[in-house]
Amino acid sequence: MKKYSEMTREELLAEKELLEKRYAEKKSLGLKLDISRGKPCPEQLALSLPMLDIINSETESFKCENGFDIRNYGVVEGIPECRRLFGEILDAPAENVIVTGNSSLNLFYDLIAHAVCHGLPGGNSPWSECKERKLLCPAPGYDRHFAVGELFGFELITVPMNPDGPDMDTVEELIKDETVKGIICVPKYSNPQGITYSDEVVKRFANLSPAAPDFRIFWDNAYTVHHLDFSGEKDEIPSLLRLAEENGKGDMVYMLGSTSKITFPSAGLAAVASSEKNIADFRHTLSFQNIGPDKINQMRHVLFFKNLEGVLSHMKKQSDIVRPKFETVLKVLKSELSESGNAKWNTPKGGYFISAELMEGTAKRTVTLCKEAGLTITGAGAVYPYGKDPADSILRIAPTFAPVSELPDAMEIFCISAKLSAVEKLLK
Amino acid sequence: MKKYSEMTREELLAEKELLEKRYAEKKSLGLKLDISRGKPCPEQLALSLPMLDIINSETESFKCENGFDIRNYGVVEGIPECRRLFGEILDAPAENVIVTGNSSLNLFYDLIAHAVCHGLPGGNSPWSECKERKLLCPAPGYDRHFAVGELFGFELITVPMNPDGPDMDTVEELIKDETVKGIICVPKYSNPQGITYSDEVVKRFANLSPAAPDFRIFWDNAYTVHHLDFSGEKDEIPSLLRLAEENGKGDMVYMLGSTSKITFPSAGLAAVASSEKNIADFRHTLSFQNIGPDKINQMRHVLFFKNLEGVLSHMKKQSDIVRPKFETVLKVLKSELSESGNAKWNTPKGGYFISAELMEGTAKRTVTLCKEAGLTITGAGAVYPYGKDPADSILRIAPTFAPVSELPDAMEIFCISAKLSAVEKLLK
């Protein structure tokens, strides 16, 4: 088959007719499919159910390691054993970890709110007093990250993504502006491209010299243990905090993580790892907000996983559930889109998403066509700041939640819609 | 026995000698007692242990009423059945309730942060832009409330407490100042005086006409079901939100509550009830911060209590545990302090505290003496804004956490210290 770009007008018209026929057939099925959000499926959730049995009315002791009763007030920074667990997950010393909240998004929001209201170590004032504040946003990225920045009045500055992470020349240039207060990153199995930052990129992050004395790298390592295990391949990155500390720049780093997609998205745990100074500062604010996190739930997680090895073995079971879904999506993408040449996509080694780069100017139309045929996908533009994809070409596919049986139909609708949009565009 | 104020110098010197002897005896016991914080005791916590068994790996359905999986993302405002439960507790329609967080303090902080960062309905700008912002603080009150106000840069304005609540003439006068942005109240079984606001006071609150268009009443009804049940006596107050709505002033009200001292302080739930507009506004911000609260824990609470009746019957068991502690404290106060006439205290019908008003200028000295004899109590001044009790006379006693067997010693040390401080002062 010819590439679309090489087809004559007549060939395109013939292809259009074919696609419209296929599209009408799919539409007539009246399906209701959804590949829009990165949600674990019920089978994944079921893996964590035994955790709910671990602490119960027969439990003999409710004391955590430092002697506190996990049922009562106190221990604002989280119980020691759970800080240690997250220290292993995030690759940071336990004493540099605070466990609170239920998602890394939640902690990102809280840290931004903290900076806006109270300021951060090294800074001269609360960020609310910096009227021109800017946030660097490597994109394609996570829509909810950008939304938090926008809500708090940051100007969002797009940083292009390379195959090995954000374009560091651009980052190093942009941080010379002292109104640039931070950058939000998903360094491993990124949302949505599944990109893992190279060691070189991480090292350059660890050695940034920003103009703003209270500049921060928000390092949302949400997918650090979410390997997809295609033939056992795993990505690893060095600990940004440890590298930055070696450079005397540990205060620049907040590493975030959670068990949202490890145990239960609503009933999981979140953690931040940072320098001693930042941890003391954030703990101080937390001590006003709260007289302690849900320590019973922290202990549930500790007893369920025991250590990083326990987490990884649990994630192996998760990948066995979701890998076939990714395989199905990739298979349909390949069979439908590779020959026409109007799309590229990534094959992630982990994380929750596949990102498809369609022909320029066709992403929005594709979403509309998908919707009309009963398939919900993340809106076009969502992966860019302000929801504006300059090329109108990137779409995010979230394969985990839908039953594997629904994915062939969903992906056929997606691909037919993408091809039809491309042909329509070429015929204009 | 004569009152101290009527004693001659000689009589005071004799009393001092006597007290010093008793003090030395107590001190020599090397006790380590603590009546400083309002924490439930282990026996109270044990009452809620069956709640931990309710949701487990054998649970058949994890769906809540609106069809969401309680283990997954979503339902930012809380599951419908839990909103209904808190609607009953707070006396507000379920649709006007958001369930999130684990303490009313936590929600007070989050609402203040929300107002400071983003502004509130009716207001012209985020509170961060109002540089002279003020918070009214009925005092004696809760030290952590005042601390949140101070952290966020509010000037704290003390409002005197009457036996039926804050002095409303003062409140009505102070709110003519448009930089007064709010007032923080504990309307029932107040911390620390156990005062329940009269219907008349609540009605005046519901009809305030503040100069600031975004003025708010933070109504921390933390102890609404915490009756002590001395001979079945209970206080009740009308719903401030319902009264304010009748006056077309519902936007002025945030009613807060939690299960911190009903189930588990760290692993409980918190809720806010407010007008439709405020709820939509706060939900909007929450939807950026979080993709849903811990709905498993919400469901645990719903299944454990079922409804308000279930909560009240649970609280009856709690009061049976703590009432003897309050009785012990009151008994020692009466036998030690009533004759000397240098102190007053309240007999609360509910809540967590007893507040003692000692001779002016003796509270700090009393705390020091207590400490040296092995008894930790809440610092003098804590119940006032900025930790400054103008008369240096109010001390807060928290009887719940200590074993009842320790309370006679603790209270004797307290009373001896208070009397010794008074005698020392009179002899100066």
Asked if B102's CB is within 8 angstroms of A296's CB, the reply is no
Tell me, what's the pLDDT at B216? 98
Asked if A40's CB is within 8 angstroms of B105's CB, the reply is no
Q: How confident is the model at residue A340 (pLDDT cuts 50, 70, 90)?
A: confident
Whole-number Å distance between alpha carbons of A118 and A289: 13
- Where do the domains of chain B lie? 4-44+313-427, 62-306
Asked whether the beta carbons of A423 and A352 are under 8 A apart, the reply is no
Asked if A109's CB is within 8 angstroms of B113's CB, the reply is no
CATH superfamily entry for domain A4-44+313-427: Aspartate Aminotransferase, domain 1 (3.90.1150.10)
* Model pLDDT for residues A233-282, shown as the tens digit of each residue: 899 999 999 999 999 999 999 999 999 999 999 999 999 999 999 999 99
* Shortest CA distance from B261: residue in chain A: A72
Interface mutation vs chain A, best among B47, B59, B72, most A CBs within 10 Å: B72
Asked if B292's CB is within 8 angstroms of A297's CB, the reply is no
Q: How far is B120 from chain A (nearest CA, A)?
A: 14
Cβ partners under 8 Å of residue A272, min gap 6: A97, A98, A100, A107, A111, A254, A255, A256, A279, A282
Dihedrals φ, ψ of B34, to 5°?
Answer: -145, 115
B162 in reach of chain A (CB within 8 A) = no
Query: Fold identical between B4-44+313-427 and B62-306?
Result: no
**Per-residue b or e along A82-120, where b marks 16 or more CB atoms closer than 10 Å to that residue's CB:** bbbbbbbbbbbbbebbbbbbbbbbbbbbbbbbbbbbbbb
Q: How far is A354 from chain B (nearest CA, A)?
A: 20
Over 90: is that where the pLDDT of A232 sits?
no
Asked whether the beta carbons of A362 and A368 are under 8 A apart, the reply is no
Q: How far is B46 from chain A (nearest CA, A)?
A: 8
Q: Which pTM does this prediction carry?
A: 0.97
Over 90: is that where the pLDDT of A92 sits?
yes
- CA nearest to A90, candidates A319, A308, A348: A308
Say which amino acid occupies B193. Answer: Q
Q: Which residues of chain A does B289 touch, with a Cβ-Cβ cutoff of 8 Å?
A: 105-106, 109-110, 148
Q: Which residues of chain A does B260 touch, with a Cβ-Cβ cutoff of 8 Å?
A: 73, 291
Cβ partners under 8 Å of residue B27, min gap 6: B372, B373, B374
* Model pLDDT for residues A322-337, shown as the tens digit of each residue: 999 999 999 999 999 9
Asked if B296's CB is within 8 angstroms of A267's CB, the reply is yes
Pairing of strands A375-376, A97-99: unpaired
Give the pLDDT of chain B (428 residues) as one tens digit per residue. 789 999 999 999 999 999 999 999 999 999 999 999 899 999 999 999 999 999 999 999 999 999 999 999 999 999 999 999 999 999 999 999 999 999 999 999 999 999 999 999 999 999 999 989 999 999 999 999 999 999 999 999 999 999 999 999 999 999 999 999 999 999 999 999 999 999 999 999 999 999 999 999 999 999 999 999 888 889 999 999 999 999 999 999 999 999 999 999 999 999 999 999 999 999 999 999 999 999 999 999 999 999 999 999 999 999 999 999 999 999 999 999 998 888 999 999 999 999 999 999 999 999 999 999 999 999 999 999 999 999 999 999 999 999 999 999 999 999 999 999 999 999 99
For B62-306, CATH gives: 3.40.640.10
* Alpha-carbon separation of residue B120 from A62, A327, B155, B254 (angstroms): 41, 48, 19, 12
Over 90: is that where the pLDDT of A366 sits?
yes
Q: How far is A173 from chain B (nearest CA, A)?
A: 29
B291 in reach of chain A (CB within 8 A) = yes
B144 in reach of chain A (CB within 8 A) = yes
Q: Which residues of chain B does A57 touch, with a Cβ-Cβ cutoff of 8 Å?
A: 49-50, 52-53
* Shortest CA distance from B289: residue in chain A: A106
Tell me, what's the pLDDT at A1? 78
Over 90: is that where the pLDDT of A197 sits?
yes
Say which amino acid occupies A113. Answer: A
What's the ipTM? 0.97
Whole-number Å distance between alpha carbons of B325 and B406: 10
Q: Which residues of chain B does A318 touch, with a Cβ-Cβ cutoff of 8 Å?
A: none
